[in-house]
Structure 1
Amino acid sequence: MSLRTLSVSALALVAVSATVAAARDEIRIVGSSTVFPYTQAVAEQFANNTGAPSPIVESTGTGGGMKIFCGGVGEQHPDITGASRAMKASEYELCQANGVTEVTEALIGFDGLSLVVSRDNEFDWDLSLADIYLAMAAQVPVEGKWADNPYKKWNEINADLPAIDILAYGPPPTSGTRDAWVELAIHGGCEELDYVKEGGFDSKWVKENCSRMRTDGPFVEAGENDNLIVQRLEADKNALGIFGYSFLYENLDKLKGVKIEGVEPTIDSIADKSYPVSRPLYFYVKNAHRGVIANLNEFIEEYMSDDALEAGGYLAERGLVALAEERRIELQDAVLNAKSMTAPE
């Protein structure tokens, strides 16, 4: 595909230049720890290809990145933020209130929220979503009543699981990974419970009563640094961890995926949706910075290149599950031509 360059009228360029006064030399990127390794790979490729300064990429978490990104327009504010979920309506409104009125949304591919364990752990793990919920949620059914989670060992929730302490390291509430985990795994597991199905509880009840992770020890917030989870799993072979597929992919010599509903997290199972806990990944571009921040347009072109995004591209080699060709072409057209997103519903 021949890359298209963004055409900006002279009038618009003058207006944008006035808005973003003293342009800095380096591109600044914040956001999701899951999207971070993909953006960092593009940054390295861009710097190698062009000789330009490598963009500064910070792993701030999706929620933290949105807050920083939507803080305003100008050299003190970042140009791009990565996200492991779509922008929320409240974040869009924050952007608008702070003058960040033209933003392009880029769905770059898909990721599996991987539940993983050390390769030194010899048990053949296969958890249902209900098992996951009962192990990690703050409240569960206990003798016919909704109560604080009493379970301490895996075999207490399922006799086929080992008699070891439940310990799972996962992301904090500011993380898009946490948002997606709660929505896909925790809500999904809650909906599988007989208590919920037989009680006739709807999705609103599930959201209100099944969204909190336990805080009494078996679930541990490990911060935004997924490498810290890898280190903790190496130190404790019985602990489980939660993070994006790319971190499992990069550490297959140390870690193995836990089956969920009988399916392992792999590129193929995420792509064909047989793996039950998968999600889209995004980045967002501040269009007022295009043509003003040095090399920003060229960096975006590299991110949108076939070399990066195709199924055989260098991001797929790092664990990103690529979009289908037709969808990828639509993405490239929208991002390269600065199509602004509309307000999320």
Structure 2
Amino acid sequence: MAAAVLLSGGMSACSDGRQEPVRIVGSSTIFPFAAKTAETYAERTGVVVVVEQTGSGGGHKLFCSGHASIDATTSSRPQKPSEAALCARNGVAPVIEIRLGNDGIVLARAVGAVPMDIDPLTLYSALARELPTSGLDCTPTPNPYERWSEIDPTLPTDMITVYGPPPTSGTRDAFVETAMEAGARAFPCLAAMEKDTPNIFRSRAHDLREDGRWIDAGENDNALIRTLANAPTTLGVFGFSFLDQNTDKVRGIAMGGVLPSQETIRNKSYPVVRDLFLYLRGGSALWADRGAADYVLEFTSEEASGPGGYLEEIGLIPLSDAERAEMRQRVERAKANAGPRP
């Protein structure tokens, strides 16, 4: 279910007297950052900013369907070619891609639960719907594992129960493309399959269990945090910022001996790292008096997403100064070239 936040002291007035808010849809992972930026921007300008939590896939669908009221979508993965094609068909062009920062995809469980260290092979062995018969025989067999200790005797005897994002989520896409694919490559026959038949490899690597060991938890990561806190033998998959803001309730699980932290995500020693994006309407659709471009400039400002900025305080891993400057230049060029509102 989409969550909407209306943040402002009043409506923004267009030059012709119309009153329209800036409207942002998209990623649940980026939602806290987008909402905090919206709140700050509204306090400074009086411009209404509506931020809706639709998931990355849902955000791209709405944005690219040509809804005139949607100015931008946030995404925890790059826009897919099929989504770019949908944007083009519906006249949502040009689209300006803005990198906002970095994020880690973490596994976590309740504070007080037994610590765990899971390598990619263990994770894949726990969550793949089907596994190779052996390292050299890729004949698929239903996943037989019920407990973590059956895969690795050093792990707890807890039942394998992992709550994670649904198929519409960019976090889900990034999780299967990084963690699950890395685990699949540990089987020599699957590693060879990736070279020979990459589409079949991706299908095998991305196909999660449907027997209750993996559970789609929806787009509300705060609800997932509450679930983990109340079920200490379960694990959850979500963006680092939600771990960073809930250390009183959940603790991160090490991946290959590395715990998730701002530093390990920044230096990419933590193995599951991704970029976070915002996609903005360009061309004549970028109406300067609606404030969309200025909102994105606030998002990419040093005060917001620079080192020590107010978004880093809630879990965003900043870009380098040079990268952030490049993103601001993209927005400034788009705003300068937008022209008058049709």
TM-score normalised to structure 1 length: 0.87
Given that 2:100 and 2:278 are in contact with CA atoms closer than 8 Å, whether structure 1 keeps it comes out as: yes
| Distance across 2 between alignment mates of 1:65 and 1:267 | 27
2:312 paired with 1:321: no
> Is 2:113 the partner of 1:127?
no
Are 2:105 and 1:113 aligned? yes
Determine which structure has greater relative contact order: mean sequence separation of CA pairs < 8 Å that are 6+ residues apart, divided by chain length. Answer: 1
Q: CA deviation at 1:298?
A: 2.5
Q: How far off is 1:302 after superposition?
A: 1.1
Determine the structure 2 residue equivalent to 1:6.
Answer: none
Query: Contact between 2:104 and 2:274, CA under 8 Å: does it hold in 1?
Result: yes
Structure 1 partner of 2:180: 186
In the alignment, which residue of structure 2 is the partner of 1:237?
232
Give the match for residue 57 of structure 1: 51
Contact 2:293–2:331 (CA<8 Å) still a contact in 1? no
Query: Are the equivalent residues in 1 in contact too, given 2:24–2:51 (CA < 8 A)?
Result: yes
Unaligned runs of 5+ in 1: 1-16, 341-345
Q: Which residue in the other structure is 1:82 paired with?
A: 74
8 Å CA contact retained: 1:27, 1:293: no
Partner of 1:268: 263
CA shift at 1:210, angstroms? 1.8
SS at match of 2:209: coil
Taking the aligned partners of 1:213 and 1:222, their CA distance within structure 2 comes to: 14
The answer as to whether partners of 1:119 and 1:256 remain within 8 angstroms in 2 is yes
SS at 1:46's partner residue?
A: helix
Paired-residue identity, %: 39
2:217 alignment partner, one of 222, 244, 256: 222
1:338 pairs with 2:334:
yes
Counterpart residue number, 2:303: 307
- Output aligned runs, 1:34-45, within 5 Å: 34-45=29-40
Report the Cα distance in structure 2 between the residues aligned to 1:73 and 1:59, rounded to whole angstroms: 16
Aligned residues: 315
Q: Distance in 2 between matches of 1:110 and 1:23?
A: 37
1:4 aligns with none
- In the alignment, the residues of structure 2 paired with residue 293 and residue 147 of structure 1 have an alpha-carbon distance, to the nearest angstrom, of 58
Name the residue aligned to 1:149: 143
Shift of 1:209: 1.9
Q: Runs ≥4 in structure 1, deviation > 4 angstroms? A: 21-24
Asked whether the 8 Å contact 2:165–2:217 carries over to 1, the reply is yes
Q: 1:23 to 1:303 in 2, by over 3 A?
A: farther
The Cα offsets for residues 170-205 of structure 1, whole Å up to 9 and x where unpaired, read as 0000100000000001111111135535xx332514
Q: Note the residue ranges of structure 2 that are not aligned, 5 or more in a row.
A: 1-13, 338-342
**Bigger Cα displacement from structure 2, 98-107 vs 44-53:** 44-53
The farther-off stretch of 81-90 and 289-298 is: 289-298
Q: State how far apart, in whole Å, the 2-side matches of 1:217 and 1:256 are.
A: 23
Q: 2:285 aligns with which of 289, 292, 297?
A: 289
**Could you say what secondary structure the match of 2:68 adopts?**
coil
1:325 positional shift? 1.4
- Structure 1 equivalent of residue 340 of structure 2: none
| Structure 1 CA distance for aligned equivalents of residues 225 and 67 of structure 2 | 36
Shift of 1:283: 0.5
Task: Give the AA of the match of 1:41.
Answer: K
Retained in 1: the 8 A contact 2:73–2:279? Answer: yes
Partner in structure 2 of residue 99 of structure 1: 91
CA contact (8 A) 2:125 2:131 kept: yes
Q: Secondary structure at the match of 1:338?
A: helix
- 1:46 is matched with 41
What secondary structure does 2:77 align onto?
coil
The structure-2 alpha-carbon separation of the partners of 1:22 and 1:196, relative to structure 1 and needing over 3 Å to count, comes to: farther
What residue number does 2:130 align with? 139
Q: Give the partner amino acid of 2:29.
A: T
The TM-score, its normalising length taken from structure 2, stands at 0.88
Q: Which of 148, 152, 166 is the aligned partner of 1:158? A: 152
Correspondence for 2:249? 254
CA-CA distance at 1:336 after TM superposition: 2.1
